Homo-oligomer: A and B are copies of this chain.
């Protein structure tokens, strides 16, 4: 039976459709699928595109004559800072290269604000309450940092061009306990939304009750174009022009350019902020791994080298995104049971089921051997108020596995949807 708008079916039609779906689903149960689509991990074949990073490092001297094997160099090697400066259009002197994890740089940046405060403002640990704005759906690991540190999270709905700025502006203007906002401004995790110039401008110049309000600008997918190359307005220049030069902490990494486990991360910020960071980071470590910085830069060569490499990655990922989007369209298009976005880049596809169906859908898929990101994961406290959002991470499985997983997934979406409609009909 080819069914279109499911939401318009009668109760008996729904019951019949459920029987069909059950049969389909039971068939999947017998097939012993075993697939993990829970995280945005590259596949082995994607990683193979970067194996040159593993080559012998014949020359361990940096361009400035530093022996990268030895101690020192808190800011990172200059060739790495310059490459990312060119790639991201950020002045070199605003960049500190970290270890293999931008998440670690974010966590530590917030911990420093907690412990020490910034620019004469009280340390956040001394305040009765600290709140963060969390555009959602968003990145679960951002929200986990807030939860770990007891920061109260306020959910901000996402619009087509970024967070709901009316709401953001109104909140930050009136509440000085709101100290920050999480942003994944290009190809957002999970929806693939790109912030418009207007949103960037409004974030940069909005009046905040807190003098130490900070934007955590996690540009994780800044060069991860798949279908089309979207541009992101320069938030540093916008913030400087608005007289808020210290508002932004910018994060980037090669975790999804070279190797997730062994890439190079960076934090960029104003010179005044970097001076504070260095003061404490220089106590925390003598320096991050310069050999890995050297390996990464020697492999990527230049900003243009990164862009060429990202085109190769896009060619690897495009068939997977095509598969996901094509299957969704074919199986769910017009059913009224789900809606989703077609991202231009990034790592994810985000789908909304009918209200109240996400948990059930994920549970059904899991029972049939396909592990998805937990329902609700993309919301503060893992609570999706409408229980409808599911993040699809298509990068890890092979194309064949993905085909099977997506077909099963669509059966689960439909089954959960039909069950919900029947529940309502009773």
A residues engaging B (CB < 8 A)?
A: 39, 41-42, 44, 47, 50, 54-58, 60, 67-73, 99-101, 103-104, 107-108, 111, 114-115, 125, 141, 144-145, 147-149, 255, 259-262, 280, 283-292
**Residues of B contacting A114 in the complex (Cβ-Cβ under 8 angstroms):** 115
**Residues of B contacting A55 in the complex (Cβ-Cβ under 8 angstroms):** 56
Partner of A41, one of B41, B58, B70, B260: B70
B260 x A71 contact (CB < 8 A): yes
Known: A148-B280, A148-B283, A285-B104. A259 touches B69 (CB 8 A): yes
| CB closest chain-B residue, reference A48 | B69
| CB closest chain-B residue, reference A396 | B70
B286 x A262 contact (CB < 8 A): no
Partner of A292, one of B58, B69, B292: B292
A291 x B261 contact (CB < 8 A): yes
What are 13 A-B pairs at a CB distance below 8 A? A68-B262, A70-B261, A99-B289, A108-B284, A115-B115, A115-B149, A144-B283, A145-B284, A147-B283, A148-B280, A260-B286, A262-B290, A262-B291
**Residues of B contacting A100 in the complex (Cβ-Cβ under 8 angstroms):** 99, 288-289
The distance in angstroms between the C-alpha atoms of A111 and B109, with both chains bound, is 13
| CB closest chain-B residue, reference A262 | B291
**Residues of B contacting A73 in the complex (Cβ-Cβ under 8 angstroms):** 261
The distance in angstroms between the C-alpha atoms of A280 and B111, with both chains bound, is 12
Interface centre among A72, A147, A289 (most CB of B within 10 A): A289
The distance in angstroms between the C-alpha atoms of A149 and B147, with both chains bound, is 22
Known: A47-B67, A71-B41. A261 touches B290 (CB 8 A): yes
A115 x B111 contact (CB < 8 A): yes
| CB closest chain-B residue, reference A54 | B57
**Residues of B contacting A125 in the complex (Cβ-Cβ under 8 angstroms):** 115, 125
- 19 extra A-B contacts, CB within 8 A, seeds A68-B261, A71-B260, A289-B292: A41-B71, A54-B56, A54-B57, A99-B100, A101-B287, A104-B284, A104-B285, A107-B283, A107-B284, A111-B115, A114-B115, A144-B283, A145-B283, A145-B284, A259-B291, A260-B286, A261-B291, A262-B290, A292-B292
**Residues of B contacting A50 in the complex (Cβ-Cβ under 8 angstroms):** 69
The distance in angstroms between the C-alpha atoms of A114 and B123, with both chains bound, is 13
Partner of A286, one of B44, B101, B280, B289: B101
Known: A103-B285, A283-B107, A287-B261. A60 touches B54 (CB 8 A): yes
A260 x B70 contact (CB < 8 A): yes
A69 x B47 contact (CB < 8 A): yes
| CB closest chain-B residue, reference A66 | B261
The distance in angstroms between the C-alpha atoms of A128 and B51, with both chains bound, is 52
